[in-house]
Chains A and B, each alone.
Chain A
Amino acid sequence: MRSGSGITAESVAFSFDGTTYHGQRGDTLAAALIANGVQLVARSFKLHRPRGIMAAGVEEASALVTVGSGAHGEPNVRASDVYLYPGLVARSQNAWPSLRRDIGAVNSLAAALIPAGFYYKTFFGPPSRWMLYERFIRRAAGLGQPPRLPDPDHYGHRSAFCDVLVVGAGPAGLNAALAATLAGKRVILIEQDVLPGGTLLREDVTINGAPGAHWAQYVVARILEAGGRVLTRTTATGYWDDNFVTAVERRVEPGQPGTGEAQVSWRLRCGEVVLATGAIERPLVFVNNDLPGVMLAGAVRELALRHGVVPGRRAVIATSHDEAYRTAFALAALGVDIVAILDSRADPAGPVIAVARARFTVLTDARPLRAWRRGMAMAGLEAQVGGTRQSFAIDCLAMSGGSSPVLHLHRQAGGALEFDAARGAFLPGAGRQRHSTLGAAAGVHDLAALLPDATVVDPLGAGTPPAPGPVWRDEAPGKAFVDFQNDVTTADLALAQREGYVSVEHTKRYTTLGMGTDQGKTGAMVALAQIADLRALPLPDTGLTTFRAPYTPVTLGAFAGPMRGDHAAPLRRLALANAHDALGALWVPAGAWMRPRAYPHQGESLGVASLREARMVRANVGVVDVSSLAKFEIAGPDALTLVAAVCATPVAKLAVGRGRYTVMLREDGMVMDDGTLWRLEETRWLLTSSTGGAARMARHLTYVADVLLGHPRAAVVDLGEHWAGLALAGPAAAHVLAGLTGAPVPAHMGLDAAHLAGVPVRILAASYSGERAFEVHVRRDQAAPVFAALVEAARAAGGGVYGLDAMDHLRVEKGHVVIGAEADGRTTPADLGMAGMLRKTGGYVGWQGLTRPALADAATRRQLVGLTALDAGAIAEGAMLVAREGAEPVGHVTTAAPRVAGEGAIALGLLLNGAARHGDRLLAWSPTRHSTVPVEVGPPLFFDPEGARYRD
């Protein structure tokens, strides 16, 4: 049985690549694998080099595995960031057929053919070149595969406030959180580990007489007792404006099935934020520094002291500062043979050095040059020791090249950085928001200094702060890595510099340095030191890439939370939804609404049903639900002023009781929406507009009123939710409606009040189908009897109900545009053939935009045209209009439909200079739908050009 500060004796079975092993509860997968002697854990991203475990936390760059099976599988999990649970199943990635016999490893041999910048250059080349390489590259280079099944986990969202948020429950964070809680503040302390303690979990120290890890538990208990909140296994992922911090809490481990919430996404608004995020140790650069067995010294210490596990039997410690010496004592206590300590400093001194010299071989002015392997693991090391080279037969190297304070959140908050030349590290400068940084994140490693009120006993003493040694200058031939996850070597950095990708932002894109799941946590500062050396610049002058959120990868489900599937967006059901269901409606989402698309008869396809419904309207009469259209009432002494500002058509002379078609423009002159405007009374208007644009129009009306017109005496009431709208269209519509109301129907574009089925209604005589048509508006709670009466009367007249597709067929045949299809935000009224409708005197939103000279050049404008298929094929919506396949597109198909009156396929489209191209023949070509149809261009009007049918 092992002993360590973080583990209990309970044995836990798990598997890796199909072999069952046993670990102990509290172990990370990394610790348990090492305890079982498994060194080879992964193959590297690009070169397929054998990799083992290098780090002990989220900074692990190499040992990425897939955890869990089936839908619960989670790829790219850091072996050091998943804690054992019974039945944990882990698999290696990026290796086939197995980790040991990985075919992709020939990539190592072919590496000279895929140098840094390969992707970059390929992207700049002709697209065909990328198409050629893509399949090969995607198979060869890769991380884990996400499961293809729906994610079965539940994810929660929580919001919270606090006076003080403390990020990191190491000694500095615990101390700050306890002090703030005792001072009566609302405190939240978050820690990414399952245990509090931070570095205390890997150091042999006592605080107030207790081992460090126990002291940490005691402080957490006191914080909770005093009313504070502690979230473990929770990572602060982003620091945003106004002290808003996001965090993700894992409630079950990766791949672990559970019944409750697997993860909770926290949104924290904080009075002040204390960043006690610690520091990340840096690797040393030498040839084959990526071999299994080469690890960060702090990680080795954590394995030994927290988990009671050792990664080898014969170890060398290689360091540039005092802290890594502690690893020698920790390993020796577990019986590991410390072959030597290599210190790059010429003349290190101090208490820990003195103790070490007494027990171990300490070599100064000494650093690793080259490691080698036997099988898949480290077997030896060649080192430079003063002026000579020495070799060591070892299976473990614990290295430390200094340490990098974790300043991601500080930077995201807008905080400044200051370079400390002695530490070779950036330290936090002035904050921009209300935040401060403590502990190792601020460069303070001395426990006694961090905990001035406690009695700290550290048998090895504090030592000097971590600092890097000399940079690597190719003292031995071979690959020396700076970024382990992306296989970036010192040679790649040099190549980028030679080829002119000098700026660190360019170097990053060129070499992929600092990308991937670890985002350069271990490698970035090492690479900067190399670049600074190559350019002979001080390190801060090389620049620094942006610290973007999230700090660690976040499962997409955690962002979505409960808002997925049917909960992804609110679903809006029509007032008459049940009645439509009773009629056999097939539903289709239209904006946020579900609308009836058609009412197919038994065994009838959607296309056949829609065409039948449309022909029914042309022949007799049909009823369609148009309730989702936006409806605004605008009333008050200044209502005309507001209406005239919003509508681009003449409005002032519209008589009471009459309406007209209108368009509303954006300021740049593009069509924003369209609808009908009705004058109910002298100072009271009704404006209808598109379903999808309803929210935008509501906001636009108040913008024009409050911002442009300075609060005119006019009220805008959004009636969209209050009224249902039912359109009755067809040659028999007037007769049917008159029969139901017992009153004459209003003239075309007239309106009237009436009673229908005993319910008060408003009747608007407007047509969108090309047939005589009426919209019946009724309070939504009184709509059912009106709809029932309309349907019954329409059926009695040989008609019935019709849906959205039939409506579309009818309007295409008449060339009526739809917002979002023809009016796609890039079309002016003139492009849509409506220039003649505009108010000549201007004064409406968008009138100035229409004067932009470029809009007058028809040759550059896509204009509305009608398209008639010249063969039997249906025209594909979205197809390009081209002279021949592969030619530069000159337009596109916006809406396609079958002819209702007659046979064949027609469409509306937007075509460059289209108004002048009637009679031209083109192809409607859609390579993605494998469709090519010859079409003839004509006016956007296929039926009843005189408009005789809809007039009285």
Chain B
Amino acid sequence: MLLIPCPHCGPRNQEEFAYERTLDSVVRLDDAPDVALSALYTRANLRGDDHEIWTHAQGCGQWLRLTRHRMTHAIHSVEPL
């Protein structure tokens, strides 16, 4: 279970958090349809760092951006969104 350093609450167990999605799959409200559909359905999944959106659902409720390695799961940074 990951230990996620919440910028607001400090290091907490993964089970307090909820994973939302990768940053590159976020559909902005003003994205053109082709951009949005590509973000939803044709994403890369390369070895290396990923940017992910999580929320500290059972903690402060803050939305967070994690930089995390897709293979080792190592978390390099956590920033509030």
Q: Which residues of A contact B (CB under 8 A)?
A: 240-242, 244, 267, 269, 414, 432, 645, 667-668, 699, 702-703, 706-709, 843-845, 848-849, 851-852
Contacts and interface: CB of A to CB of B under 8 A. Distances in A.
A707 B53 contact: yes
A667 B55 contact: no
12 contacts: A241-B2, A667-B27, A699-B18, A699-B55, A702-B61, A703-B55, A706-B81, A707-B53, A707-B63, A707-B81, A845-B27, A849-B40
B1 A244 contact: yes
Contacts of B29: 645, 708-709, 843-845
B36 interface: yes
B27 A848 contact: yes
Contacts of B9: none
Contacts of B33: 848, 851
Interface string B54-80: 010100011100000000110000000
B28 interface: yes
Contacts of A699: 18, 55, 57
A849 B36 contact: yes
Nearest to A845: B29
Contacts of B37: 848-849, 851-852
B30 A843 contact: yes
Contacts of B16: none
Contacts of B20: 703, 707
Contacts of A845: 27, 29
A845 B36 CA distance: 11
Nearest to A645: B29
Contacts of B62: 706
Given A702-B55, A845-B27, 17 more contacts: A241-B2, A241-B73, A242-B1, A242-B3, A244-B1, A244-B3, A699-B18, A699-B55, A703-B20, A707-B20, A707-B63, A707-B81, A708-B28, A844-B29, A845-B29, A848-B32, A849-B27
A843 B1 CA distance: 38
Sort chain B's interface into a size bin: 20 to 34
Given A432-B72, A703-B63, A706-B63, A241 B1 contact: yes
A702 B36 CA distance: 20
Interface in B7-35: 13-14, 18, 20, 26-33, 35
A707 B62 CA distance: 10
Contacts of B18: 699
Contacts of B1: 240-242, 244, 267
Given A241-B1, A668-B40, A707-B26, A848 B57 contact: no
A897 to B, nearest CB: 36
A849 B3 CA distance: 34
Contacts of B35: 848
Nearest to B28: A708
Contacts of A241: 1-3, 14, 73
A702 B20 CA distance: 12
Given A241-B73, A242-B3, A414-B72, A848 B63 contact: no
Contacts of A702: 55, 61, 63
Closest 5 A/B residue pairs (Cβ): A848-B36, A242-B3, A851-B33, A848-B33, A706-B63
A843 B20 CA distance: 21
Nearest to A243: B3
Contacts of A267: 1
Contacts, number: 61
Contact of A708 (B2, B26, B72): B26
Nearest to B53: A707
A852 B37 CA distance: 7
A706 B1 CA distance: 26
Contacts of A852: 37
Contacts of A849: 27, 36-37, 40
B39 to A, nearest CB: 9
Contacts of B14: 241
Nearest to B35: A848
Contact of B3 (A269, A414, A668, A709): A269
A668 B40 CA distance: 8
B36 A667 contact: yes
Nearest to A842: B29
Contacts of A843: 29-30
Contacts of B36: 667, 848-849
Contacts of B61: 702
A220 to B, nearest CB: 29
A302 B29 CA distance: 69
Nearest to A710: B81
Contacts of B27: 667, 845, 848-849
Contacts of B55: 699, 702-703
Nearest to A695: B57
Given A706-B63, A707-B63, A708-B26, A242 B32 contact: no
B21 to A, nearest CB: 9
A414 B1 CA distance: 13
B50 to A, nearest CB: 14
Contacts of A269: 3, 13
Nearest to A706: B63
A831 B76 CA distance: 43
B1 to A, nearest CB: 5
Q: Report which residue of A667, A702, A708 has the largest number of chain B beta carbons within 10 angstroms of its beta carbon.
A: A667
Contacts of B3: 241-242, 244, 269
Nearest to A240: B1
A434 to B, nearest CB: 12
Contacts of A708: 26, 28-29
Nearest to A667: B27
Nearest to B3: A242
A708 B26 CA distance: 8
Contacts of A240: 1
A707 B54 CA distance: 10
Contacts of B30: 843
A218 to B, nearest CB: 36
A706 B62 CA distance: 9
Contact of A848 (B26, B31, B73, B81): B31
A942 B64 CA distance: 48
Contacts of B2: 241-242
A43 to B, nearest CB: 40
A708 B81 CA distance: 10
A467 B13 CA distance: 42
A351 to B, nearest CB: 46
A702 B40 CA distance: 20
A549 B30 CA distance: 45
Contacts of B26: 707-708
A799 B35 CA distance: 55
Q: Which of B28, B33, B62, B72 is packed against the most chain A CB atoms within 10 Å?
A: B33
A22 to B, nearest CB: 46
Contacts of B13: 269
A267 B13 CA distance: 11
Contacts of B73: 241
- Which of A240, A241, A708, A852 has the most C-beta atoms of chain B within 10 angstroms of its own C-beta? A241
B34 to A, nearest CB: 8
Contacts of A414: 72
Contacts of A844: 29
A71 B33 CA distance: 59
B61 to A, nearest CB: 7
A849 B81 CA distance: 24
B44 to A, nearest CB: 18
A873 B36 CA distance: 47
Contacts of A244: 1, 3
Contacts of A667: 27, 36, 40
A706 B60 CA distance: 14
Nearest to B27: A667
Nearest to B62: A706
A65 to B, nearest CB: 34
Interface in B36-51: 36-37, 40
Contacts of B28: 708
A809 to B, nearest CB: 36
B27 to A, nearest CB: 5
